[in-house]
């Protein structure tokens, strides 16, 4: 019997891969009998019902007019310290070095207890904030003072050493998805509802439409595909690039072929009617949406950027293309969509890869083993 651990988890609770991973990890650890305490500014969006062994503690920030900026980080650290003491937590697992690791270190000192700190790096804290010299020392401090640091890909580990140069070992622990949710299901009614013809291929892109996601490249690649193959593009998500993308779709005269679906909850149903996923980002430490799509048997075309080549097996479960090489991306897509047997092989290889290299139980166990090693070391 596993010794039950009391674990605090802090993440950004709104939509985003890091929040998804933190929440799914918490839920699976709770299923394994551990007691999980989420500490965040709002209820993580995947914590949408009662879960046994899972508790939620909200961080409240007072808006005193005397403060120019509300002191969120201090409020978070205070809440962490309160929960550490009251619930007698064994460890805090925080997602993102800035501000969460730094808050955890402060909370550890405030609580006076020997609570351990595990920090997972997800990307933006390194690949965006890491370029800001005013934050480098704080990020390095957060990493070096954590007891264990993990990153979601090997590529993110090397970028962390290049940009931050911490004196700390960083373990790669890949992301995972819940295979009970992400699997191909019978969703053909959706095709009819969206007015998609039986002979049309479906290409999907899911993101937060930030400029780094290069959604314009997705649209341009799709335009080339649709010149040769009857197809529809599902754009799922919303964000700052939306207006520009809408304009481009109109300019290219493909408005009748592009469906803007906005933010969606049950993306697994959309993957289940899709034939191909495009993830053409210029920064991506992992690319969780590629994993979700692959689990539903959808091969992916991704860019040779960050952790994407660690997720998509080039020539087996999809293709890796150079950033911005729309010609190559569309050629690869057309080839795959025009050859049903090859597409089927890629689809099966995608599912196999998720159930092997990225299997949820294996990855959750990796985290559990890291926690245990810490608690045993005293």
Q: Which residues contact ligand GMT (rule: CB under 6 A)?
A: 16-18, 21, 122-124, 127, 152, 175, 208, 210, 212, 283-288
Provide, rounded to whole angstroms, the least separation between the CB of residue 307 and ligand GMT: 6
Tokens 């299923």 map to which residue? 31
Contact 83, 39 (CB under 8 A): yes
* Nearer to ligand GMT (CB atom), residue 235 or residue 334: 235
Distance CA 31, CA 254 (A): 46
Q: Show the tokens assigned to 119.
A: 């920090």
Element containing residue 94 per DSSP (H, E)? strand 91-95
* Nearer to ligand GMT (CB atom), residue 84 or residue 236: 236
Provide, rounded to whole angstroms, the least separation between the CB of residue 165 and ligand GMT: 19
Contact 244, 218 (CB under 8 A): no
Distance CA 282, CA 306 (A): 8
Provide, rounded to whole angstroms, the least separation between the CB of residue 191 and ligand GMT: 28
Phi first, then psi, for residue 320 (nearest 5°) are -110, 125
CA distances from 283 to 47, 121, 307 (A): 28, 14, 9
* Nearer to ligand GMT (CB atom), residue 156 or residue 337: 156
Which of 294, 287, 293 lies closest to 316 in space, CA to CA?
294
Tokens 């998720």 map to which residue? 354
Provide, rounded to whole angstroms, the least separation between the CB of residue 14 and ligand GMT: 9
* Nearer to ligand GMT (CB atom), residue 120 or residue 330: 120
Contact 32, 54 (CB under 8 A): no
Which of 327, 328, 304 lies closest to 314 in space, CA to CA?
304
* Nearer to ligand GMT (CB atom), residue 108 or residue 208: 208
Crossing angle of the two packed helices 340-356 and 288-295, in degrees rounded to 10? 110
Provide, rounded to whole angstroms, the least separation between the CB of residue 288 and ligand GMT: 4
* Nearer to ligand GMT (CB atom), residue 54 or residue 291: 291
Provide, rounded to whole angstroms, the least separation between the CB of residue 183 and ligand GMT: 20
* Nearer to ligand GMT (CB atom), residue 146 or residue 175: 175
Provide, rounded to whole angstroms, the least separation between the CB of residue 94 and ligand GMT: 13
């Amino acid at each position: 019997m596993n010794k039950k651990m009391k674990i605090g988890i802090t993440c950004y609770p709104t939509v985003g891969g890091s929040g998804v991973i933190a929440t799914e990890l918490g839920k699976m650890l709770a299923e394994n009998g551990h007691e999980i305490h989420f500490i965040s500014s709002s209820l993580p969006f995947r914590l949408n019902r009662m879960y046994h062994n899972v508790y939620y503690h909200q961080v409240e920030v007072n808006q005193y007019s005397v403060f120019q900026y509300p002191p969120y980080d201090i409020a978070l650290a205070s809440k962490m310290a309160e929960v550490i003491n009251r619930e007698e937590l064994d460890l805090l697992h925080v997602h993102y070095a800035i501000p969460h690791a730094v808050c955890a270190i402060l909370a550890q000192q405030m609580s006076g207890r020997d609570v351990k700190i595990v920090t997972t790096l997800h990307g933006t804290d390194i690949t965006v904030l890491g370029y800001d010299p005013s934050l480098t020392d704080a990020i390095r401090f957060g990493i070096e003072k954590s007891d264990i640091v993990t990153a979601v890909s090997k590529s993110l580990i090397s970028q962390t050493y290049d940009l931050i140069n911490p004196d700390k070992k960083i373990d790669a622990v890949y992301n995972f998805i819940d295979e009970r949710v992400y699997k191909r299901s019978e969703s053909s009614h959706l095709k009819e509802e969206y007015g998609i013809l039986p002979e049309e291929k479906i290409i999907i892109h899911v993101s937060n439409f930030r400029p780094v996601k290069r959604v314009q490249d997705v649209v341009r690649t799709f335009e080339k595909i649709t010149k040769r193959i009857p197809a529809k593009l599902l754009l799922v998500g919303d964000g700052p690039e939306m207006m520009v993308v809408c304009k481009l779709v109109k300019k290219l005269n493909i408005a009748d072929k592009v469906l803007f679906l906005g933010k969606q909850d049950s993306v697994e149903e959309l993957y289940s009617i899709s034939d191909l996923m495009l993830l053409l980002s210029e920064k991506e430490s992992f690319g969780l949406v590629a994993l979700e799509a692959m689990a539903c048997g959808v091969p992916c075309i991704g860019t040779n950027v960050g952790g994407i080549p660690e997720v998509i097996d080039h020539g087996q479960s999809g293709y890796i293309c150079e950033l911005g090489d729309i010609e190559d991306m569309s050629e690869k897509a057309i080839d795959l969509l025009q050859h049903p047997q090859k597409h089927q092989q890629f689809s099966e290889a995608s599912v196999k890869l998720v159930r092997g290299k990225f299997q949820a139980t294996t990855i959750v166990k990796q985290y559990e083993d890291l926690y245990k090693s810490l608690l045993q070391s005293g």
